[in-house]
Amino acid sequence: MESSSQRIDVQQSRESVTNSNAVNGFIGSVGNTPLIYLETLSELTGCKIYGKAEFQNPGGSVKDRAAVSILQDAEKKGRIKPGGTVVEGTAGNTGIGLAHVCRARGYKCVIFMPNTQSQEKINLLRMLGAEVYPVPAVPYEDPLNYNHQAKEYAEKLENAIWTDQFDNTANAYAHYISTGPEIWEQTKGEIDGFVCATGTGGTLAGVGKYLKERSNGRTQIWLADPSGSVLYEYVTSGGNLIERSGSSVTEGIGQGRVTSNLGTFVNDLTGALHIPDEKAISMLYQLLDTEGLYVGSSSAVNVVAAVELAQKLGKGSKVVTILCDGAYRYQSRLFSKKWLESNGLGHAIPDSLKKYAVLD
Ligand SMILES: Cc1ncc(COP(=O)(O)O)c(C=O)c1O
């Protein structure tokens, strides 16, 4: 990765708007999200727990940063010309970020996604002008996996790129030069631990690398991992890659392999925490009830992990995690009694919070 003093064009485009403090379009408004002090959880643990409000990015998720960085990198390298087509395999949020950037830059956007993803995300992609192909959710080793289908589709077209979010390290780089430095500045360098779950691994690797370097190794970087992912075992066993088993209702996180993005940092992780769905669903409702935050399930996994990490590091410790996106994209599932019960999660919501599950 390049040096942290080099700002990505996201930052430069902000500064290039003349005679005002305005930012330049969609691309200029990505990043610089608030860091939220989570008061109830901090008081409960005697620590300081913070969530980086990535749901405030203009496309609504942490993946806007990766989408901008990957496309700017492709443009710089001449891999795509005006009027070209951008093809990606994505569980949703990267596709949404890319669809926005494609509109802003005049590209066509084609998305392949596993057919297990929420209807809200599919609808939104189509509203943003993307062509969407939901395909069977099969393992990476299967040629019908959504990533391989996206790659093949792009290879058959003129002036098209497969953006390859999992193994294109322009993804982690976005976090190394923007999310990481923002967190460092917002905490004034007082950060004992950072933890988050991974999909591509871009956020964890990019932020982790920056914070570890900037703190001279003082800040611990931990992985949070849901059921159905192999990475908890990989990290805690020192590199043992097991068969994927089990599952999770969370979307956008959990992985069956070490991607190139995660690979840039995986050996420098301090440790890993396994976070089951029950804990995440309970936290999702608690965050709504006590902090007024309406976040998706990967954010809830992250906050459960931040609390566990803070407890491990001891009273007074300062821990940061990522609030990846809002619950709007999943509400027909996460706030439906029927859906939660059919996924064995009805019992996960404390009785006093069941009032929020207002959908049938
Ligand atoms: C909701 C959500 N949370 C977390 C992540 C994981 O981020 P990363 O791909 O940087 O590991 C994603 C990735 O798509 C996501 O959509």
| Atom from ligand 1 closest to the CA of residue 203 | 10
Non-local (6+) Cβ contacts of 319 within 8 A are 47, 48, 49, 50, 191, 192, 193, 194, 195, 306, 309, 310, 313
The CA 173 to ligand 1 mean position distance, Å, reads: 15
Instruction: State the pLDDT at residue 3.
Output: 38
CA separation, residue 268 to residues 181, 208, 218, 220 (Å): 18, 9, 12, 9
Question: Of 63, 121, 209, 212, which residue is the catalytic one?
Answer: 63
Instruction: State the pLDDT at residue 301.
Output: 98
Instruction: State the pLDDT at residue 99.
Output: 97
Instruction: State the pLDDT at residue 57.
Output: 98
Instruction: State the pLDDT at residue 225.
Output: 98
2 falls in which pLDDT band (50, 70, 90)? very low
Which residue reads 């005697």 in tokens?
A: 46
For residue 270 and ligand 1, the question of a CB distance below 6 A is answered with no
6 falls in which pLDDT band (50, 70, 90)? very low
The CA 92 to ligand 1 mean position distance, Å, reads: 9
For all residues of the chain together, what is the average pLDDT? 94
| Atom from ligand 1 closest to the CA of residue 66 | 10
The CA 253 to ligand 1 mean position distance, Å, reads: 6
Q: Tell me, yes or no, if 63 is annotated catalytic.
A: yes
Which residue reads 């460092």 in tokens?
A: 184
Residue 13, pLDDT > 90, answer: no
The CA 299 to ligand 1 mean position distance, Å, reads: 9
pTM of the shown model:
0.94
Q: In the chain, what percentage of residues exceed pLDDT 90?
A: 87
Q: What is the pLDDT of residues 247-277, one digit of tens each?
A: 999 999 999 999 999 999 999 999 999 999 9
**Pairing, β 271-274 against β 220-225:** parallel
Looking at mean pLDDT, say which of 10-14, 61-65, 245-249, 331-335 comes out highest: 61-65
> Both ends of the chain: CA-CA distance in Å?
48
Q: What is the pLDDT of residues 126-168, one digit of tens each?
A: 999 999 999 999 988 899 999 999 999 999 999 999 999 999 9
Q: What is the pLDDT of residues 308-325, one digit of tens each?
A: 999 999 999 999 999 999
The CA 260 to ligand 1 mean position distance, Å, reads: 15
Q: What is the pLDDT of residues 50-72, one digit of tens each?
A: 999 999 999 999 999 999 999 99
14 falls in which pLDDT band (50, 70, 90)? very low
| Atom from ligand 1 closest to the CA of residue 91 | 14
Q: What is the mean pLDDT of residues 34-61?
A: 98
For residue 310, the tally of other CB atoms under 10 A from its CB is 26
Instruction: State the pLDDT at residue 219.
Output: 98
Q: What is the mean pLDDT of residues 204-215?
A: 98
Lowest mean pLDDT among 87-91, 270-274, 300-304: 87-91
Q: In the chain, what percentage of residues exceed pLDDT 70?
A: 95
| CA–CA separation, 70 and 164 (whole Å) | 9
Q: What is the mean pLDDT of residues 224-249?
A: 95
Q: What is the mean pLDDT of residues 66-95?
A: 95
Residue whose CB lies within 8 A of the most ligand 1 atoms, among 253, 260, 295, for a mutation test: 253
Instruction: State the pLDDT at residue 289.
Output: 98
For residue 324 and ligand 1, the question of a CB distance below 6 A is answered with yes
Between CA 232 and CA 237, with CA 235 as vertex, the angle to 5 degrees is 100
For residue 60 and ligand 1, the question of a CB distance below 6 A is answered with no
Lowest mean pLDDT among 3-7, 235-239, 302-306: 3-7
Instruction: State the pLDDT at residue 16.
Output: 56
17 falls in which pLDDT band (50, 70, 90)? low
Q: What is the pLDDT of residues 90-129, one digit of tens each?
A: 878 999 999 999 999 999 999 999 898 778 888 999 999 9
The protein residue with its alpha carbon nearest to ligand 1, atom 2, reads: 252
* Nearest CA among 200, 198, 212, 166 for reference residue 272: 198
